[in-house]
Amino acid sequence: MLMKKTMRLCVAVLLVAAAALLVVYRAVNRVPSADLPQYEQVYRIFEDGGCLSCHSADPELPFYTKLPVAGKIVMKDVDSGYRAYDIRPFMDALKVNGEVSEVDLAKIEKVVLDDRMPMPKYYLVHWGSSLTAAKRDIVLDWIRNERIAMYPDALPENRAAEPVRPIDQTVEVDEAKAELGFALFHDPRLSVDNTVSCATCHALETAGVDNHQYSHGVDDQLGGVNAPTVYNAVYNFVQFWDGRAKTLADQAAGPPLNPVEMASPSFDDIIAKLEADKSFAKAFKAVYPEGITEATITDAIEEFERTLITPNSRFDKWLRGDDSAITADELEGYELFKKYDCATCHVGKNLGGQSYELMGLRRHYFADRGMELTVEDNGRYKETQLERDRHRFKVPGLRNVEHTWPYYHDGTRETLEDAVRDMGRYQSGVELADAEVNKITAFLKTLTGEYQGKLLTNDTSRDVIHDHDHEH
């Protein structure tokens, strides 16, 4: 009899405990009120989820992080989380309903869709971090609405929330300034010995690149990085691999004085050469009454480079609703591109150029590369001196990528297939099958657009000049 009473008591206690746990679970996982603005609902979901505990530089850590074993485990996860993604800028913008980056939208969306977060061991001690179906729906609906509101050019309903967008058909520019910029872009007088122009490394007829591993400057000196394409650079949030130039004008001011690239002693020397050309100086003053200065030179080049957009790719046509613009394999390649996280960094109109990302997120790229590290391999770290930024680079845009070989900042990958395979390995942590590589590559080739109404081409020999044995 006593045993039966004891068993009944135990069952009753368990039932009460289960009910209590259920009440607690429902309480901590309560969906934010629908009366709140949608952005505030999303903010509360991520705040309650504890995302800042791992994905920020200054997390508020629990007391057990000071314990020997538990603390070591937690700090490893915190370091890894922050290394992969800093959510603080997203949360700060979201809190005040400010502008959220396309990259943040894509990263958040992918994590939610894949149900990756929170990590099981985090969830075990933080029940409130659970992302329930109702919370998922709120977040995904908000992301869709943000994307639609971000662009004035409406897309078909079944394309409206894609993480990439078509390139603009036109861009507003000052035609007179752009014409001067075109002349300056092709003018070797910007270099000390009148042998190198902007077009030397960014030729328009070769997809805006020189197809060298490293760029060649005056006296055939070698730079330390692969020259990125000048096409669609207007869509980049910063310029150069390390992001040291905020605008196209800032970028244009760099190479003329770089001792390896153009090596001019100063802009005064450049101005003197240009002013000696009376007809050019007269034409320049007609557009810029203040005359030839560093600011007007770089402004004109910027205005010209704003015109270097390549709309009307086959993929853009598909985005705008033409289902016949791409093949089934190419479409499958796009789906694989999204599946393997490529579209969490390569987003927007240029499919990139909107963030800095770590080269070797899932596997140590530089250890496997087999080349001595250079100062350029430090990436963004060169500018910030923040350890987190070491090996972090501005994400390149993928428009016209079939023509912009070799690939990466170090120009070590000659073919698009090799680049795709390695991106899977080093950035996504997957070994792509040959069939997957081929389909993703096929999709990437649909991104080739038109310049001035003609499909962009590159007839340069496929032979890449290997310069990695040279001093930089």
How far out from the chain centre does Cα 319 lie? 20
200 half-sphere exposure, CB direction, 13 A CA radius: 23
Residue located via tokens 């240029």:
350
Helix (H, G, I), strand (E, B) or coil at 379: strand
DSSP state for residue 123 in the 8-state scheme: H
SS3 content of the chain, % helix, strand, coil (to 5): 50, 5, 45
List phi, psi (to 5°) of 294: -60, -45
- What does the alpha-carbon distance between residue 467 and residue 472 come to, in Å, rounded to a whole number? 9
Angle at 386 between CA 413 and CA 224, to 5 degrees: 35
Looking at 102, 261, 302, 402, which residue is catalytic?
Answer: 261
For residue 436, indicate whether it is catalytic.
no
Helix (H, G, I), strand (E, B) or coil at 393: strand
39 half-sphere exposure, CB direction, 13 A CA radius: 14
Residue located via tokens 């705008």:
320
Residue located via tokens 């929170």:
118
Tokens of 110: 């992918």
Tokens of 372: 């001595």
Cis peptide before 406 (omega within 30 of 0): yes
SS3 of 34-95: CCCCHHHHHHHHHHHCCHHHCCCCCCCCCHHHHCHHHHHHHHHHHHHHHHHCCCHHHHHHHH
- Amino acid symbol at 383: E
Angle subtended by helix axes 102-114 and 88-95, to nearest 10? 100
Contacts of 151 (CB under 8 A, 6+ apart): 165
* Number of residues in the chain: 472
Q: Which residues are catalytic?
A: 261
